Amino acid sequence: MDKNPAVLVLEDGTVFKGQAIGKIGTTSGEIAFNTGMTGYQEVFTDPSYFKQILIMTTAHIGNYGVHPGEIESDSMKIAGLVTKKFSPGFSRASANGSLQGFMERDAVVGISDIDTRALVRHIRHKGAMNAIISSSELDVEKLKAGLKTVPSMDGLELSSFVTTEKPYLAGNESAGYRVALVDFGVKRNIIRCLVERDCFVKVFPMNTTLAEINQFNPDGIMLSNGPGDPAAMPVAIANVAEMVKSGTPIFGICLGHQILALSQGLKTAKMHNGHRGINHPIKNLLTGKGEITSQNHGFMVTKESIDKNSEIEMTHIHLNDETVAGMCLKNKPVFSVQYHPEASAGPHDSRYLFDQFIANMAEAKMEGRDRKIEKVISKK
Amino acid sequence: MPKDNSLKSVLIIGSGPIVIGQACEFDYSGSQAARSLREEGIEVTLINSNPATIMTDPTMAHNVYLLPLEVESIELILKKHKIDAVLPTMGGQTALNLAIKCDELGIWKEYGVKIIGVDIAAIEITENRESFRKLMEEIGVPMAPQATAKSFLEGKGIAQDFGYPLCIRPSYTLGGSGAAIVYEEADFDKLLDRGLHLSPIHEVMLDKALMGWKEYELELLRDNNDNVVIICSIENFDPMGIHTGDSITVAPAMTLSDTTFQKMRDMAIKMMRAIGNFAGGCNVQFAVSPDEKEDIIAIEINPRVSRSSALASKATGYPIAKIASKLAIGYNLDELKNQITKTTSALFEPTLDYVIVKIPRWNFGKFPGTDTRLGLQMKSVGEVMGIGRSFQEALQKACQSLEIGRNGLGADGREVTDQNKLLYSLGNPSWDRLFHIYDAIKLGIPFKTIKEKTKIDDWFLRQIEELIKLERVIEKYRIDDIPKDLMFEAKQKGYADRQIAHLLRCLESEVYNKRTEMGIRRVYKLVDTCAAEFEAQTPYYYSTFEAENESVVTPKKKIVVLGSGPNRIGQGIEFDYSCVHGVLAAKECGYETIMINCNPETVSTDFDTADKLYFEPVFWEHIYDIIQHEKPVGVIVQLGGQTALKLAQKLDRYGIRILGTSFDALDLAEDRGRFSNLLKELGIPYPKFGVVESAEQALELATDLGFPLLVRPSYVLGGQKMKIVINKEDLEHHVVDILNEMPENQILLDHFLTGAIEAEADAICDGKDVYIIGIMQHIEPAGIHSGDSYAVLPPYNLGDLVMHQIEEITNKIAVALRTVGLINIQFAIKDDKVYVIEANPRASRTVPFIAKAYQEPYVNYAAKVMLGEKKVKDFKFAPVKKGYAIKVPVFSYEKFPDVNKELGPEMKSTGEAIRFIDTLRDSYFQKIYSERNLYLSK
């Protein structure tokens, strides 16, 4: 077995030595950890992880290879991978390749065989920070110098790197509902969840205006997930404010939830470590029920700002740290969650939120029809 | 919903004596349940007939009933106490069956008792294979093609339709009793007949055998608000075809994609919701096709705490039984805290940053002639769990925990190289298949052949192959020139110093010194349920070789208690009971207590027991490293049975203090020559004996001693290979047999006192004063192992003269051995003369029994004596003596249908029960007394 050395250097100067995986090279980004034990391929292709070096806390990664049906975008989006044990080989009859091959294809640099637990404990205490991995340059001082040029995630807009350039369609045009999806870095499974629920979806680039969207004549608007700091996206925030005013049903997920919040004058903040994993406990405050959810966010909507806003209600709370996990507008069919009801990877406990969105669209359509009828009647 | 305040008094039903398929994991769950309910201010009443349990301690429950698990006992309790609810999910199938029986008789209703933790309808559905199949069909959960048969004829018809291989599973049985895979028609009739007989309702399910499908288990918890969480996913290393209790299992699942896992999760939740509306724990088993389709098929669901949930609790740190009890009394998951972090929510799914491997422990040697192949019926008697930061490390550590004379997986010069034997074993798995897979790869048997025969997932097989490749690299070096990186890699992959020494052709100590010199040290990591995402408060550790050590040593004075490893015949739950009491007593004396054990079924490995738990093999290297790290004032070895005791010599040699009786005294009692010299000096009679090393010597000695003779190898457990012979041919045969199996072992020949009565005494001694805690008389004549005999406390027909001799001898020996702690002495009595058979200066199997019968905490007292905190005179002994207590041995013969019930000097029972009688006129006693000679073998 040929082994190449690799090194990981953190912003605070901490160094870990391990073995090279993926492409031989150098990569940098904000380091974060994900605690999921399954679904690495879905995670690595999730655009919300763009520019992030990801530590997988589970002991083995790569065991079941990669599968063409388990990608959340067309390529790996993480900036780098850090693992304990990495399997170059795999066993799964339906797999079409190894994770090593997939990483090489998408030029992702990684490091394995390091004490990931020590690393997680370290950043748990110190908070999120930047890091650099290299398997081509092992001189720590040079890497430290390189690390200085990596921008902080705070205030960084990243959606523009992963959003679609041109609008595209998904689903059947004759479907029951027309959904305009604003793509801040959408996961494919969000689209799948909508299409499965009888939606015809048109995916728009991140800064699309309400007027452009309205040409599609949508029954509802989906604000997708995505990477980066929501506060650095003024255009999107202003557009979403317009969309809310229009009264069209809106459903926001993750970054979409944060942008929706900012459009309503709420505040967002960077978290100490964020939530990344598929075991996050949420309580739905409207029903009192719990949900195990898939999460991936480093920013959050502040609870204080919701408490101060009489138009908005907190609907979901994270049970571990009592942060905001979901909200709705009191007078409009507009709601959003910080987590990922589309899962992939993760449990399916929260899929009902898509049903909720469909129900909101159905109701709005009904009302719209009623209004039209009213208009007709009044004209008469 | 918060706690249901109408429940003020709850009855917990235990699981009774240990049998195969139902072991001490239910003491763990029962104890957790009792503690969990008590802390809610609920009055806890407990019934269990197994005295060697922590759950039946007076400190665990308000009212403890050591009664047979029968309807009459339940009625007796209900008449005496106002019970609001019964929790029947903590005591395995035994407790559930009893609860169902009481329900059918209308007893719960009559006394106004609510059933919590499960509903009877749910048990009915899951146990009745026909209605379960129908329900699964309704909710769209696929199952293997199957049908039930209530008659022989019906069964034959189904078999004709399905073809072979197929599985036979009797309804309502435990641990897969009577279940079998039928490969060909010739075997079908016999197995069908057996299945129909074993099912209490005479019904069997026949299903198409999904041989080679991958097998998984999920552990679920649900609350009254219908919130469901998956605590753990477990993957079987051995594919379908081997009972999960007999399978090597791994957590988390290693080869499962998120897509398939989430499908399985959805199905499990759907199944739990479909079987009934109850709050509690549940175990669901699935099979997954190993092809592209990844079809998932449900195998079964158990709406109760199980062996797997005990394993899942230890594997994840999430105490399932404790939380399930809280859910049963009304709490919701979001109202409870994660017991490890104490800050985050109990409504979550644990995530692991390590791997656990469970390997079952079998005892086939005890049942000569039995079919040792593994199948649908569980045959193992215990299990071990290894924790590591990789599968390979966990696997090696589990192998080191087994105590089968191996130093891990391979690299110990004990490989099998007989190709035919290996090929047979790969396709006909027995206890040693794992080792044979290793051997086969090493021998160069093609990967494809191994895969075809075992059907084990490639990923697992490749992991083993990688180990062999690593060994080949290591073998190229010597201790002087092995590179640091290679040494580190070997240690990270779980290799013991002894294995590396074998590969480098040097001594274990040289490897230890070398790696220490290189700075390669064990570090300790926490089991924290959350992969380090949150700070954890619970000191539950395992070792690995990495950068950071998380186990902070406190300045407190501390002691280490060595556990008893995997359960096996001759060393079971009794020793775990003693270890737990040792820990608790040391805590009372102000010590920080450190527990080392590798048995996931036990209370000793509950992270709430000791101040610090090291879940590690009870294997020299691991223990020594912990001692080096923690620097305790001493180690208690006399509570953990032979496992702990046999480490005493090395501890002594390394200058580590053994608390209580010294190593020299332990050795004196074990070394037959030294011990009989001592008896001679003290003027104590013992049967004539001699030590031999060959069959020639044995025949010569036999002329001196005279037949019958008791023949046994020295240093063994539970009378292994012990036999009574009555002539030279038998003697020669048996001696050759022993030497063949245990080369270079010394063999003891004792003159066997035919027709003698056996008795044993347990005592506490502080080196000077002796207190005899109890004397028990066996009902069967000498010749049957003490563990297999019925025994009565106190003796029922020994005269004053005999009793006086027993007391005097016990005192003399205890003092002469300078015993500090416990001692057990076995006697044979013939013609009113008392002979000493053996003395063991350690906690015996009978101590917990006596403690329960007399209602005094003898292990606690003994531990305080060992620690030097107390003298025998400091205790006010006030045993409750009323009538007699009978120790009832319990066997698991139904698991070995081809073995005759035949008792002799080799122990075969798996558990015991206690039964109290007021007088000797008691009909139960009269019956067993009249049958006392029935099973004695030649």
pLDDT of A377 strictly over 50: yes
Mean pLDDT of chain A: 96
Phi and psi at residue B221, to the nearest 5°: -130, 140
Count of domains for chain A: 2
Pairing state between β A26-34 and A129-134: antiparallel
Q: Is A199 a catalytic residue?
A: no
CATH topology of domain B219-350: D-amino Acid Aminotransferase; Chain A, domain 1 (3.30.470)
Residue B332: list chain A partners with CB under 8 A: 290
The long-range contacts involving B98-104, CB below 8 angstroms and separated by at least 24 positions, are B98/B13, B98/B69, B98/B70, B98/B71, B98/B74, B99/B13, B99/B123, B100/B124, B101/B71, B102/B71, B102/B74
CATH architecture of B532-659: 3-Layer(aba) Sandwich (3.40)
**What pLDDT score does A304 carry?**
97
- Secondary structure (DSSP) of A16-49: EEEEEEESSSEEEEEEEEE--SS-HHHHHT-GGG
Mean pLDDT of A16-30: 97
Q: Which of B262, B334, B533 sits opposite A124 (nearest CB)?
A: B533
Helix H or strand E segment including B690: strand B689-692
What's the predicted TM-score (pTM) here? 0.95
- Residue bearing tokens 């069959």: B695
- The total of other beta-carbon atoms located within 10 Å of residue B67's CB is 18
Nearest residue in B to A90, CA atom: B459
Residues A172 and A294 in one domain: yes
Tens digits of per-residue pLDDT, A103-139? 999 999 999 999 999 999 999 999 989 999 999 999 9
Cβ <8 Å between B334 and A116: no
Q: Does residue A272 belong to the interface with chain B, where contact is any CB pair within 8 Å?
A: no
| B524 sits in which H/E element | strand B523-526
Q: Per-residue confidence at B746, pLDDT binned at 50, 70, 90? A: confident
ipTM above 0.95, yes or no: yes
Instruction: Find out whether B358 and B246 touch, Cβ atoms under 8 Å.
Output: no
Radius of gyration of chain B (CA): 27
Q: Kindly list the residues from chain B whose CB atom is less than 8 angstroms away from the CB atom of residue A348.
A: 262, 265-266
Measured between beta carbons, the chain B residues lying within 8 angstroms of A120 are 353, 531-533
Which of A363-377, B307-321, B549-563, B919-933 is the least confident region? A363-377
User: Does the annotation mark A342 as catalytic?
Assistant: yes
More confident residue, B173 or B181: B181
pLDDT at position B678 over 50: yes
Whether A91 has its CB under 8 Å from any CB of chain B: the answer is: yes
Q: Are residues A130 and A184 in the same domain?
A: no
* H-run or E-run covering B774: strand B770-781
Provide the pLDDT for residue A4.
Answer: 94
Sorting pLDDT into bands at 50, 70 and 90, what band is A2? low
Q: Is B549 on the interface with A (CB under 8 A)?
A: no
A194 lies in the same domain as A144: no
Are A258 and A139 in the same domain? no
A144 and A166 in a single domain? The answer is no
- The B residues from 204 to 263 touching A (CB cutoff 8 Å) are 225-227, 229-230, 233, 252-259, 261-262
Q: Where are the alpha helices (DSSP H) in B247-288?
A: 258-275
Please give the pLDDT value at position A187.
Answer: 98
Contacts of residue B291 in chain A, CB cutoff 8 Å? 93
pLDDT at B235: 98
Q: What is the mean pLDDT of residues A153-159?
A: 93
Res. A1 pLDDT band, cuts 50 70 90: very low
Q: Are B929 and B779 in contact (CB under 8 A)?
A: yes
- Minimal CA–CA distance to B531: which of B348, B385, B671? B348
Residues of the domain holding A294: 159-368
- Determine the pLDDT at residue B175: 65
- Give the mean pLDDT of chain B: 93
Mean pLDDT on B489-515? 97
Residue B515 touches chain A, beta carbons under 8 Å:
no
For helices B573-588 and B858-866, the axis angle rounded to 10 degrees is 60
Cα separation values, B109 from A86, B46, B75, B102, Å: 58, 19, 12, 9
**Domain match, A30 and A142 both:** yes
3-state secondary structure B693-754: CCHHHHHHHHHHHCCCEEEEECCCCCCCCCEEECCHHHHHHHHHHHHHHCCCCCEEEEECCC
Q: Of B260, B234, B290, B300, give the one whose Cα is nearest residue B454.
A: B290
Calculate mean pLDDT across residues B647-673.
Answer: 92
C-alpha gyration radius of chain A: 21
* A259 and A330 housed in the same domain: yes
Are residue A108 and residue A237 in the same domain, yes or no? Answer: no
Name the pairing type of β-strands A199-204 and B723-725.
unpaired
Among A198-207, B114-123, B578-587, name the one with the lowest average pLDDT: B114-123
Q: Is A272 a catalytic residue?
A: no
**Taking CB atoms and an 8 Å limit, are A115 and B261 in contact across chains?**
no
CA distance A340 to B221: 23
Burial class (CB in 10 A: 0-12, 13-18, 19+), B557: middle
d(CA B534, CA A275): 11
B770-795: burial string, b at 16+ Cβ within 10 Å, e else: bbbbbbbbbbbbbbbbbbbbbbbbbb
Same domain for A141 and A223, yes or no, is no
Interface of A with B in 28-47 (CB under 8 A): 33, 35-39, 42
Residues 6+ apart with CB under 8 A from A145: none
Per DSSP, the residues of A151-181 read PPSTT-B-HHHHS-SS-EEES-TTSSEEEEE
Does residue A112 share a domain with residue A216?
no
Q: Is the pLDDT of residue B865 over 70?
A: yes
Residue B915 has pLDDT above 50, yes or no: yes
Q: Would you say residue A378 lies in a domain?
A: no
Q: How confident is the model over A197-207, as a mean pLDDT?
A: 98
For residue B717, the model assigns a pLDDT of 66
Tell me what the mean pLDDT of segment B859-883 comes to: 96
Select from A99, A114, A148 the last residue of a domain: A148
**B757-930: which CATH number, 3.40.640.10, 3.30.470.20, 3.30.1330.10, 3.40.50.720?**
3.30.470.20
Q: Please tell me which of the candidates A92, A116, A118 has its beta carbon nearest to residue B255.
A: A92
CATH number assigned to the domain comprising residue A82: 3.50.30.20
Q: What's the CA gap between B346 and B322, in Å, rounded?
A: 11
Q: What is the pLDDT of residue B893?
A: 84
The one-letter amino acid code at B220 reads L
pLDDT tens sequence across A284-304 = 999 999 999 999 999 999 999
CATH class of residue range B688-751: alpha beta
Q: Residue ranges of the domains in chain B? A: 9-116, 145-208, 219-350, 390-520, 532-659, 688-751, 757-930
Cβ contacts of B938 within 8 Å, gap of 6 or more:
B724, B726
B60 pLDDT higher than 70: yes
Q: Work out the percent of chain A whose per-residue pLDDT is above 90.
A: 94
Give the separation between CA B364 and CA B452, rounded to whole angstroms: 26
Domain B9-116 has CATH 3.40.50.20: yes
Residue A380: pLDDT band by 50, 70, 90 thresholds?
A: low
CATH number at residue A294: 3.40.50.880
CA distances from B666 to B638, B670, B824 (A): 9, 6, 12
Q: What is the mean pLDDT of residues B369-379?
A: 89
Among all chains, which residue has been given the structure tokens 């505040």? A267
Residues A184 and A322 in one domain: yes
A17 at B interface, C-beta within 8 A: no
| pLDDT of the residue at B54 | 96
Lowest mean pLDDT among B81-85, B394-398, B649-653, B700-704: B700-704
| A379 within some domain | no
Residue that is last in its domain, among A148, A174, A192: A148
Structural contact between residues B349 and B231, judged by C-beta atoms closer than 8 angstroms: yes
CB contact under 8 A, B225 and A118: no
Q: Say how many C-beta atoms besides its own lie within 10 A of residue B414's C-beta.
A: 12
Residue B185 pLDDT: 87
Q: Is the dihedral of CA A305, A310, A316, A317 positive or negative?
A: positive
pLDDT at B938 over 60: no
From A93, A119, A148, the end of a domain falls on A148
CATH superfamily assigned to domain B145-208: ATP-grasp fold, A domain (3.30.1490.20)
The answer as to whether A376 is a domain residue is no
Q: Do domains B9-116 and B532-659 have the same CATH topology?
A: yes
Check pLDDT > 70 for residue A379: no
Tokens found for residue B772 = 């005899």
- pLDDT exceeds 70 at position B715: no
Hey, how many other C-beta atoms are within 10 angstroms of the C-beta on A74? 10
Domain annotation covers residue A90: yes
The reply to whether A183 falls in a domain is: yes
Judgement on whether residues A132 and A170 belong to the same structural domain of the protein: no
Segment B445-473, tens digit of pLDDT: 999 999 999 999 999 999 999 999 999 99
**Among the listed ranges A36-40, A43-47, B202-206, B603-607, which one has the minimum average pLDDT value?**
B202-206
Q: How far apart are CA B876 and CA B870, in angstroms?
A: 12
CA B328 centroid distance within chain: 27
Topology given in CATH for the domain delimited by B390-520: Carbamoyl Phosphate Synthetase; Chain A, domain 4 (1.10.1030)
Name the range with the highest mean pLDDT among A193-197, B132-136, B404-408: A193-197
Q: Whose CA is closest to A55, among A133, A141, A125, A142?
A: A133
